[in-house]
Amino acid sequence: MLELVSADTPLRSLPMLCLDLETTGLNVALDRIVQIGAYNMFGPQRSAKPALDLLVNPGVPIPSRATHIHGISDAEVAGAVTFLDCVAQLQQALVGRAVVGHHIGFDLAILRFEAARIGVCWSEPNCLDLALLVAALEPGLPDHSMETVASWLGVDVINRHSALGDCQAVVDMFAKLLPLLEKQGITTLGQAMSVLDSRDDLIRQERRAGWHSDPKTGYGLRQLQIQQELEHLRHTKQAQAEEANQQLSNGAHALDIQTRISSTNQQLHRCVIDLCINEALANGDGEPPVEFDAIIIGSGARMESLLYPDQDNGFILGNLGNQSRVLVGQWFEDLAQTMCDALAVVGFYHCPGWVMASNPRWRKPYDDFQEQVVHWIKTARGDALHYCNIFLDFDNFYGKGDLTRSLRNVVFREASNQRFLTRLYDIHKDNTGAINWLGRIVTSPNPDANKGKINLKVGGMLPIVTAVRLLALHTGIRGQSTGVRIRKLAESNFLDEAEELLSAYEFCVYLLLRQQIEDHKLTRTLGNYIPPESLKPSEKARLAKELKVVRKFCKRVGKVIRRDIPTSIP
């Protein structure tokens, strides 16, 4: 049990730990620590050296939006300590000290959930939140961000969003705030903590965000249960690599394994959204106010995912009726943010292009979605064409599916026109596979970790997927997966090289799946690149042969789309 500092201790001689965390996001129950910074303080004076200055491996990918804020990437924390490695050091630093920080309730909530996640007993220290103290002294401030509070106190903030940089700003702000508190007769820790209660409006906001463990509502217990359930789902996701390896060893076809992976991924998505909706009910937010379909976009919709998919999802909302558009929109915005953050915990990293339900572009009532998609197709230029290319394949993983099927019919009807298909082909025309006109396999020239490797997704699988989809739209053939589209095209006499294409596609999937399994074994980041040296001479020769088939097919599809030759591809 942590020994608490006496409430009678004067602020000017109060032993404190100034603490700040950088994290993967702002959801205290789901996000993880990536950096811990702390200074010992004795009143307004701080120690010369940091008490803690640690990068922390969160055990999950760091979303790009978080890296954009604090500058910490997956590569930087790859060899860092875990929270389990450093929690004892943190607890020792807290002994005999109160904690001070800006919006410190957030940091303490993150620590509470991190400790629960690894089964470590956590005791809450006394704390002083500078944001709440300033809010109590000056209620008229427009907000209580560090920038606003620092400006009001006349403090310069240097190295913002680095743990030690923010700690230094808190030290400087506390020194400026102390005489203002003393003028109000606030001289002890107990008096300062009592002042915090005067801003119960802000405390209620913090409680709703999960910053406080509330035994009356059981919020903290529910969040821990949710975290445990997400951990279980994450283990299921991680087990896919081992299962895929076993299936490959037993002679299973790569495309069958791909389908199983995709099916499991959709089931995990359903479990996550069920969990999030149940949490909304427990919080008193009610059931979904209107019918909706949660959709998965791209490879997941085609049942063509491998072991390292990002999130590509959205919400199609049903008829709002007489309900408030604003209130309905807020309900689904909250659900979308919670769902996307939870999926990231499970192992589906945030989409770098923000193709997620948390983005309003991919979360709309049906009529608005239809209007948006039709506009994209009719415009067929710039961003509109890019969004169309993303949205051509989608399916529901949650909901009845009626909204999805209806919108898919609209997309299929509108996207089959010659002008749109020609422009869509133009953005893919230069990607005819990772092989040049001399028949040599092309590797990445980029000066990074993948230099000299083969991008088998972009240079092998994707040209087949896009060319087959273009031909299917052109000929009116339906089908969700690439394999189904190839077979239907062949059955309708639009394609005579179906077996060659299926062979090329499956071989690319097999090689990439095998590489991802190997990367998983070696705890390397999974991706879409294969080192040429990992291929046997016979495999390299076969890959070159398969890629020649892909290159030839893509070029012929271009001629078909441009109507230079008859539709049938001999």
The reported pLDDT for the residue numbered 282 is: 76
Which residue in 390, 395, 394 sits closest to 428, CA to CA? 390
The reported pLDDT for the residue numbered 219 is: 43
When mean pLDDT is compared across 87-91, 222-226, 317-321, 459-463, the lowest value belongs to 222-226
Which residue in 159, 19, 163 sits closest to 89, CA to CA? 19
The reported pLDDT for the residue numbered 221 is: 46
Task: State how far the Cα of 104 lies from the Cα of 272, in Å rounded to an integer.
Answer: 29
218: pLDDT strictly greater than 50 = no
Segment holding 439, helix H or strand E: none
Q: For domain 11-208, is the CATH number 3.30.70.1450? A: no
The reported pLDDT for the residue numbered 225 is: 66
Local structure of 110: helix, strand or coil: helix
The residue that leads in pLDDT, 168 or 203, is: 168
570: pLDDT strictly greater than 50 = no
568: pLDDT strictly greater than 70 = no
The reported pLDDT for the residue numbered 28 is: 85
The residue that leads in pLDDT, 144 or 362, is: 362
Residue 371: other Cβ atoms inside 10 A: 13
Percent above pLDDT 70 for the chain: 96
Burial of 240: CB neighbours in 10 Å, binned 0-12, 13-18, 19+: buried
pLDDT, tens only, 243-270: 999 999 999 999 999 999 999 999 999 9
Percent above pLDDT 90 for the chain: 66
pLDDT, tens only, 379-396: 999 999 999 999 999 999
Mean pLDDT of 499-515: 96
CATH of domain 219-402: 3.30.460.10
Amino acid at 46: R
Phi, psi (5° rounding) for residue 4? -85, 145
216: pLDDT strictly greater than 50 = no
Phi, psi (5° rounding) for residue 55? -85, 145
Task: State how far the Cα of 50 lies from the Cα of 167, in Å rounded to an integer.
Answer: 10
DSSP string, 33-85: EEEEEEEEEETTEE-SS-SEEEEB--SSPPPHHHHHHH---HHHHTTSBPHHH
Burial of 49: CB neighbours in 10 Å, binned 0-12, 13-18, 19+: exposed
Mean pLDDT of 20-26: 93
The reported pLDDT for the residue numbered 552 is: 93
Confidence of residue 99 (pLDDT cuts 50, 70, 90): very high
Task: State how far the Cα of 314 lies from the Cα of 319, in Å rounded to an integer.
Answer: 17
Confidence of residue 548 (pLDDT cuts 50, 70, 90): very high
484: pLDDT strictly greater than 90 = yes
Confidence of residue 2 (pLDDT cuts 50, 70, 90): low
569: pLDDT strictly greater than 60 = no
Segment holding 99, helix H or strand E: strand 98-101
pLDDT, tens only, 279-317: 888 777 889 999 999 999 999 999 999 998 889 999 999
The structure tokens listed for 502 are 């299926």
The reported pLDDT for the residue numbered 129 is: 92
Pairing of strands 363-365, 313-317: parallel
529: pLDDT strictly greater than 70 = yes
Confidence of residue 217 (pLDDT cuts 50, 70, 90): very low
Distances (CA, A) of 41 to 14, 349, 380, 470, 500: 8, 38, 60, 65, 71
Rounded to an integer, what is the distance from CA 310 to the centroid of its chain?
7
The residue that leads in pLDDT, 71 or 198, is: 71
Could you tell me the maximum CA-CA distance found in the chain, to the nearest angstrom? 90
Per-residue burial over 189-220, b = 16 or more CB atoms within 10 Å of its CB, e = otherwise: bebbbebbeebeebbeebbeebbbbeeeeebb
Mean pLDDT of 53-72: 91
- Domain positions in the chain are 11-208, 219-402, 425-561
pLDDT, tens only, 166-196: 999 999 999 999 999 999 999 999 888 888 7
**How high is the mean pLDDT of the chain?**
90
Burial of 317: CB neighbours in 10 Å, binned 0-12, 13-18, 19+: buried
214: pLDDT strictly greater than 60 = no
When mean pLDDT is compared across 109-123, 146-160, 405-419, 462-476, the lowest value belongs to 109-123
The reported pLDDT for the residue numbered 30 is: 81
47: pLDDT strictly greater than 50 = yes
* DSSP designation for 442: P
Pick the CATH number of 425-561 from 1.20.1070, 3.30.70, 3.40.50, 1.20.120: 1.20.120
Confidence of residue 220 (pLDDT cuts 50, 70, 90): very low
- First-last CA distance in the chain: 78
When mean pLDDT is compared across 209-213, 230-234, 336-340, 452-456, the lowest value belongs to 209-213
